[in-house]
Amino acid sequence: MATELDSLTEKPEVQVRPQLRNGDRMTQAEFLRRYQSMPHVSHAELIEGRVYMPSPVSADRHGEPHFDFITWLGIYRVMTPGVVGGDNSTLQMDVDNAPQPDGYLRLTQQAGGQSRLVDGYIQGAPELIVEIAASTVSYDLHEKLNAYRRNGVKEYVVWRTEDSAIDWFILVEGRFDRHPASDDGIYRSEVFPGLWLDSTAVLNGDMARVLQVLQQGLADPSHQEFVATLAAQQ
């Protein structure tokens, strides 16, 4: 029979949640529970029910291109009320997917956006997502592309750093079609009017030219009309 002293010295049971491991299979709910219990881990994704935990990334193949893309998106966001953006934020999409994209733009709920903030997390799909990928073999262009398509991401932009190429996809009747650049090499977003990207300039690291073309897009009547429409909805 346990004595009163024994009861005082008994240690409470501590529930240890299993850690995330690269390649594990689980639901979004279980993934988020485990991820939140691992504050030392800064990047993990659930794509089509599988856990991906990328290795450390290089500056020239990821970090610096990422920085340039975020600069481009950030300036557009500042100049377009009703649009917000971010990077490396976990998205709660469906039961099999909780990606952490390199960058995104989304419309606020007040502006008619398809995603929303719940307890600090984005639920649903941002209208536009960008990723930095090494090459065509990356899961960004396979499993993740399919997850984004199925969850209704309207535009998906991938910068393949090893291939020195940009892939721009647009959602059309439930499928991702390639969105071509115009004859002058400029991509023009259909979802976010005025979001223009000079593909040659960004691949060459010429951010002065990238921002010059973006400013042209922001001055275009299509962007001014878009801003007016967003203002009327809020």
Model-level pTM?
0.88
What's the alpha-carbon Rg for the chain, to the nearest Å? 21
Q: Are 186 and 196 in contact (CB under 8 A)?
A: yes
Q: What is the pLDDT of residues 72-103, one digit of tens each?
A: 999 999 999 999 999 999 999 999 999 999 99
The whole-number pLDDT of residue 234 equals 75
> In which residue are the tokens 């909805």 written?
233
The whole-number pLDDT of residue 132 equals 95
The whole-number pLDDT of residue 1 equals 47
Q: Are 105 and 193 in contact (CB under 8 A)?
A: no
Q: What is the CATH number of domain 58-233?
A: 3.90.1570.10
Q: What residues form DSSP beta bridges with 182? A: none
Rounded to whole angstroms, the Cα distance separating 35 from 43 reads: 9
**Residue 71 CB: number of other CB atoms within 10 A?**
14
The whole-number pLDDT of residue 137 equals 82
The whole-number pLDDT of residue 3 equals 53
The whole-number pLDDT of residue 134 equals 84
The whole-number pLDDT of residue 135 equals 82
**Closest of 31, 45, 24, 64 to residue 144, by C-alpha:** 45
Write down the domain spans for the chain.
58-233
Q: How far is CA 139 from CA 6, 77, 142, 150, in A?
A: 55, 27, 5, 15
Q: Are 226 and 195 in contact (CB under 8 A)?
A: no
Q: What residue ranges of the chain have pLDDT lower than 70?
A: 1-16
